[in-house]
Amino acid sequence: MSTHVKRAYRYRFYPTDAQAAELSRTFGCVRKVYNMALAARTEAWVTRQERVNYNRTSAMLTAWKKTEALSYLNEVSSVPLQQCLRHLQTAFTHFFGKRAKYPRFKSRKSAEYTTSAFRLRDGALTLAKMTEPLDIVWSRPLPEGMSPSTVTVSQDSAGRWFVSLLCEDPGVKPLPARGNAVGIDAGLEHLLILSTGEKIANPRHERRDRAALAREQRRLAKKEKGSANRARARLKVAKVHARIADRRRDTLHKLTTRLVRENQTIVIEDLTVRNMVKNRKLARAISDAAWREFRSMLEYKAQWYGREVIAVDRWFPSSRLCSACNTLQDTMPLHVRAWTCGCGMTHDRDVNAANTLLAAGLAVTVCGAGVRPQRSTPDRQSATKQKPSRREP
C-alpha cells in the first residue's frame, strides 16, 4: 500500500469563451444540486427525524434530472454533480463528529472531476464535455510518474481561473531528525519572535495596498446596484484583495517551510484569533498577520516532514514569567517592552515569551505536564440553532 502524501498542485489557466461558458454552467449546476440536497436533508431531519444519506441524495439527483424545470442538469458532466453530493456527505460526517459547523449553502464557483471525467496526456488536460485542452500555465512540474486522482476547477472573486490536481507526491517524506527546538511568540510589531532572539518583520501586506483598496471601494460605492459598471468596479476591488492574499500566502509558505526544515520541535501559543479580532483597534492588523493560517500551514508541513508542533495553552503567562528563574510578575502592561526580574535578568518582553513557551512545550513532551490544546472547534451552539441535532441515529 502506498504511503505517499496526497498533495494538490494548483495552476492558473486561461479558458476560451466556450470553455468559460461550459465551466460557468457546471459551477451553477453543482451549486444548485448541493444546495437542494442540503435543503432536503435538513427538512427531512427537522420535520420527520428522517436520515438522508448520500445514496438517497444521489437518487434525488436522478429524479431532478427527469423534471422539466431541472432538465438543464443533463447538459453538464454528471461527475461534478455526484462529487458535490459526496462532499456534502463528508460535511455532515464532520458535523456529527463535532469537528465542524453545520454545512452551509454553497456559493463558491468550483467543480471536481474524477479520473473518468478528464484526460491528461503530454501536458494537455481535457475535461468532460470539452473538445480542447485547457490553456494551463505549468508553473511547476507534477511529481514524475504520478497521475492526478481528481481535478478541481475554480474561479475566484477576482475572476481568475485555477485548476488543482490532486496526486501522490513521493517527494514528501520525513526529514532527517534534528535536535533543534524553537519557541515562537506571535506579534504585530514583529510577525514572529523566536526563542533564538530572531525577530521576523511583519510585512503588513494589507497596509501596503490600503490606499489602493480604499480608492477602489469608494468607486464601487458610487456605482448603481445591478449595473455593469458596478460589476467591473467590484472586480477591481476583488483584484486588490487577491493581490494582498497572494503576497501574504507566499510569505507564510516561505516562513513555515523554513521553520519546519530547521527545527524538530516547534512550540507555539494556542491563540483564539476569532476572539482577538473583536478588538476593533487591532482587528485589521491581526487579520493581516494571519496567525491562524500560519498555524495551519505549520501543522500540516510538520506532519508531512516528521516534525512536532506543540501548542501551549492560551492562558499560559508567557510574557510575565521569567525564563531564567520562573518568577511570575504580577502585571505586565502592553507598553512594557523590556523588564528586569528580581533575579537581575533583563528581558526583551517578546523574546522572553518565546523562551518560556519553549520551556513549557518541552515540559509537555518530557513529563506530560498539562495537556496539549487541540485546535479549537467553532461554537457549535450557534451552529446548531434551528439545525438538526448531532444525536442522529
Q: How confident is the model at residue 229 (pLDDT cuts 50, 70, 90)?
A: very high
Give the pLDDT score at 335: 82
Query: For the segment 34-57, what is each residue's pLDDT rounded down to a tens digit?
Result: 999 999 999 998 998 888 999 999
In a domain, 12, yes or no: yes
Give the chain's domain count.
2
Q: What is the pLDDT of residue 311?
A: 92
Secondary structure string (H, E, C) spanning 198-212: CEEECCCHHHHCHHH
My answer on whether 97 and 151 are in the same domain is: yes
Cα 106 from chain centre: 16
Tell me whether residue 329 is in a domain: yes
**Rounded-to-integer distance, Cα 81 and Cα 111, Å:** 8
Non-local (6+) Cβ contacts of 230 within 8 A are 220, 223, 224
| pLDDT for residue 85 is more than 50 | yes
Position 314 in a domain: yes
Q: What's CA 218's distance to the chain center, in Å?
A: 29
Distance between the two ends of the chain, CA-based, in angstroms? 34
Q: Which residues contact 145 (CB under 8 A, 6 or more apart)?
A: none
**Are 124 and 191 members of one domain?**
no
Q: Quick one: 75 and 163 in the same domain?
A: yes
**What's the pLDDT band for 223 if we cut at 50, 70, 90?**
very high
Q: What is the DSSP letter of 174?
A: P
Within a domain: 384: no
The values of phi and psi at residue 349, to 5°, are -50, -50
Is 75 marked active-site? no
Evaluate whether residue 87 is within a structural domain: yes
78 pLDDT higher than 90: yes
pLDDT, tens digit (0-9, with 9 covering 90-100), for 118-159: 999 988 999 999 999 999 999 999 988 889 999 999 999 999
CB within 8 A of 172, min separation 6: which ones?
Answer: 4, 5, 7, 304, 305
Q: What are the respective helix, strand and coil percentages of the chain, to the nearest 5?
A: 45, 20, 40
Same domain, 293 and 346: yes
189 and 129 together in one domain = no
Determine whether 269 is an active site residue: yes
Q: What are the CA-CA distances from residue 2 to residues 6, 131, 234, 287 (Å)? A: 10, 34, 46, 39
Active-site residue (options: 206, 216, 269, 299):
269
What DSSP string describes 298-314?
Answer: HHHHHHHHT-EEEEE-T
pLDDT score at 35: 97
Q: How many Å apart are CA 369 and CA 355, to the nearest integer?
A: 17
C-beta separation of 140 from 9 below 8 A: yes
The three three-digit cell numbers of residue 61, written as one number: 439527483
β pairing state of 308-312 and 265-269: parallel
Quick check: is 301 in a domain? yes
Q: Could you tell me if residue 337 is inside a domain?
A: yes
Residues 192 and 314 grouped into a single domain = yes
Please list the residues that pair with 338 across neighbouring strands: 348
CA–CA distance, 216 with 237 (Å, rounded to integer): 6
Whole-number pLDDT of residue 284: 92
Claim to verify: residue 271 and residue 309 sit in the same structural domain: yes
What does the CA dihedral 293, 252, 203, 200 come to, rounded to 10 degrees? 110
Residue 24 phi/psi, 5-degree rounding, is -65, -40
Angle (deg, nearest 10), helices 228-262 and 291-305: 50
Domain end, chosen from 122, 144, 169, is at: 169
315 DSSP assignment: T
What pLDDT, on the 0 to 100 scale, is given for residue 366?
66
38 & 158 share domain: yes
The packing angle between helices 228-262 and 210-222, to 10°, is 150
| Residues 187, 78 share a domain | no
What is the DSSP code (8-state) at residue 121? E
Same domain, 274 and 338: yes
pLDDT at position 55: 96
Which residue in 185, 206, 216, 299 is the catalytic one?
A: 185
pLDDT of residue 144: 87
Res. 381 pLDDT band, cuts 50 70 90? very low
Name which of 96-100, 120-124, 176-180, 342-346 the model is least confident about: 342-346
User: Residue 47 and residue 51: Cα distance in Å, rounded?
Assistant: 11
Is 122 designated active site?
Answer: no
| Residue 80 and residue 198 share a domain | no
Q: Provide the pLDDT for residue 273.
A: 87
| Average pLDDT value over all residues in the chain | 89
Q: Please, what is the angle between helix 17-48 and helix 78-96, to 10°?
A: 40
> Which structural domain range is residue 286 located in?
181-203+247-367
Residue 48 carries which DSSP code?
H
CATH of the domain at 259: 3.30.420
Q: Are residues 87 and 145 in the same domain?
A: yes
From residue 281, alpha-carbon distances to 272, 284, 287 in Å are 17, 8, 12
Each residue's pLDDT tens digit, 277-333: 888 888 999 999 999 999 999 999 999 999 999 999 888 888 888 888 888 888 888
pTM of the model: 0.84
Q: What are phi and psi of 142, to 5 degrees?
A: -75, 160
Report percent pLDDT > 90 for the chain: 70
- 189-211 average pLDDT score: 94
- Residue 276 lies inside a defined structural domain of this protein: yes
